[in-house]
Chain A
Amino acid sequence: MFTFTVYDLLAKNLADNIDHQALAHGSIKVSYGDLGQRVDTIATWLHENGVQRGDRVGIYLPKTIEEVVATFAIARIGAVFVNINYQWTLHQLQYVINDCNIRILFTDQHRIRKIEKSELINQLDHVVVKDGTRESPKTTLWGKIPEITFTLARGAIDTELAALLYTSGSTGNPKGVMLTHLNIIQGARSVACYLKNTSAYRVLGLLPMSFDYGLSQITTMFLVGGTVVLQPVMMPAEIVKSVTSQQVTGIAAVPPAWMPIVRYLQDVKTDLPSLRYITNSGGKIPPTILKAMPEVFPNVDIYLMYGLTEAFRSAYLPPHLFHEKMGAIGKAIPNAELYVVDPDKGLCEVGETGELIHRGSLISLGYWNNPEATADKIKPCKHLKHIIGDEKVLFSGDMVRIDEDNILWFVSRTDSLIKSSGFRISPTEVEDIVYESGLVSDVVAFGKEDNFLGQAVQIAAAPIDETPMPVDELMKYCRQNMPNYMVPQKVHDWNGQMPRISSGKIDRQKVIAACMEKLYDTTTD
């Protein structure tokens, strides 16, 4: 059996690996066979409820077996799964549901209450509720879905849309990155190749499936017939407990998770005999933590990686280069090509800095319903015409440098996108919510370099009238209306009107520069 689509990742295991453990969640073990049956049950229900090929179906669940079941059930019938981060607010959920016209949503008993009380319930045809207790015309209790399955038609071919992953840009609202089955399968192949994964592997599923890095833990393991150990709780003590009790062979995490884990292991030296590798993506790990990693993870391969949701992953640093090239993003992953291009002079040489351009089958179809934004990032590159003609490539928006050994190093972003705790945040998203509070007349959001977070969200805000800035009230509003990672670390109280540019818009650069100056003035070193 060959693997063409996302469902094939599961189906192949049903053919030749049916009793192998697919998922573990605490003491609960789910074999590929069990998973296959549960997926068929939900796929049948979706089919019976009118879900067609290409329809978008939402999943708003925490890290659970059900989250995986729903994802594969949707893929089974050729519909498009849209995993929405469980920590997102109702407002953000509503945005996604409207943006891609989701009619059916999988969620749990905690979230359903707020959904039912809001406008959102009117826009949905059905909500399937995990651990739900109250049924209503629009809600179906997951536990009550009958275990009858029908033979379902073949779901999709690999060029079709499999998933939408919502992620932020430098302006505006989050956009749905369109991933085909081919994108996802090729991504899993490339990763399994350089990580040398096999069916004996047991990987920790710590990251959300709404994040391509989190999704890939499952797709990569299923590709090789391995096991995913679900880890819903990001406490270092609990993670270490899972690694030892579940014989975990690989951990994938982002910098804000690695830091507490490393500090914990420095405090409580622990043997992790099953662990073979750890990976990082989503940002830079601070140098002190990087240096400590080989000490707390002896005999473990450390992979630093880099990628954009728009093309899943671009680069990795082979573990044998970890010491020599500590902090680098490395080189192209198997089956992808990377170019470093200066917009004016073209291909960069050793020692030069330019924009990273990704070429290959991992490039997504673009942004849902936004051909302009898509055409802006995925397009031919004139400086590569002599090599690849008019083939479309992905412009990452990241500046990188090539060193004398052809290893790449991240330098900076080219735009105002904020990256905090591994999450992409557009300044506009933050500003929109702050404006809605009714407490400010002007606001500019920006990222400030932060050792722990990558960048910290900060805002400059001018109060309404000449009253003093109600900082506490504003912060409370933010905490209530934003996901945690978006809440500003600091509010710069702006006196008077913010400077404008000729169009009448706020001169963001000037405002940000003034805030940065103040920050550096007040530091003593």
Chain B
Amino acid sequence: MAFNRETLLEYLDNEMGLEISGMDDKTPLFSSALLDSFSMVELISFIEKESNIKMSPTDVNLDNLDSIERILGFLERRSQ
């Protein structure tokens, strides 16, 4: 399945309980505490499963995960 913005938004909305309407692509997810460490573990599993990418411990950082824009950017860089 193609991992795109819609898939990610749907996941954040349905599974993570985030109010997508009040957010944009740059809204900080983790540094703002909107998502906690439990959500982080689940989100990583989801990303790995949907995109067939394995995230290393060093990949798990704010630059790569702290917003919708950053997550999509990370995936794009990684798939190249």
Contacts from A to B (Cβ < 8 Å): 62-63, 86-87, 110, 113-114, 232-238, 241, 256-257, 260, 263-264, 267-268, 421, 476, 479-480, 484-485
Contacts and interface: CB of A to CB of B under 8 A. Distances in A.
Which DSSP category, helix, strand, loop or mixed, fits chain B's interface? loop
Interface string B28-72: 001111101111100000000000000011101110010000000
A267 B56 contact: yes
Nearest to A485: B38
B24 interface: no
Contact of A235 (B14, B17, B30): B30
Contact of A233 (B17, B30, B56, B57): B30
Contacts of A232: 30-31, 33
Nearest to B17: A480
Interface residues of B, number: 22
Contacts, number: 57
A234 B36 contact: yes
B70 to A, nearest CB: 13
A272 to B, nearest CB: 16
B15 A479 contact: yes
Given A263-B57, A480-B17, A238 B62 contact: yes
Contacts of B58: 237, 264, 267-268
A256 B37 CA distance: 9
Main SS at interface, chain A = helix
Contacts of A234: 36-37, 40
A238 B31 CA distance: 10
Contact of A237 (B36, B37, B39, B60): B60
Contacts of B34: 110
A87 B67 CA distance: 19
Interface string B4-41: 00000000001101010010000000111110111110
Contacts of A484: 36, 38-39
A257 B30 CA distance: 15
B61 A87 contact: no
A237 B31 contact: no
Contacts of B22: 110, 113
Which among B33, B62, B65 has the highest number of chain A CB atoms within 10 Å?
B33
For the complex of A and B, list the 4 residue pairs with the smallest distance between their C-beta atoms, beginning with the closest. Answer: A62-B33, A484-B38, A234-B37, A237-B61
